Amino acid sequence: MNAKGISYVVTKANMTAAFGEERWTAFMAKLAEKDKYFSTVIMSITPIPVEKLIVFLMKCARNSSTTTKCSI
């Protein structure tokens, strides 16, 4: 099952607004090291496998709870 990439786009916008572009870039670089899927371009119409979306959202939630550095 797939979800639309709009969830990724909205999460990116919110995380960037809250923590800055530098932290977002570091977060995505670490996530892409663990899963090559996240090294690709994800647009609002991109189908994202639900399993990968769940991992992404869990990592975002964990990362947003750390105030000083990017942790994956």
Q: What's the CA gap between 64 and 53, in Å, rounded? A: 16
- Coil/strand/helix, residue 5: coil
Give, for all 72 residues of the chain, the pLDDT tens digit. 999 999 999 999 999 999 999 999 999 999 999 999 999 999 999 999 999 999 999 998 888 776 555 555
Q: Where are the domains of the chain?
A: 2-64
Question: pTM for the full model?
Answer: 0.82
Q: Is 16 left (phi over 0), alpha (psi -120 to 50) or beta?
A: alpha
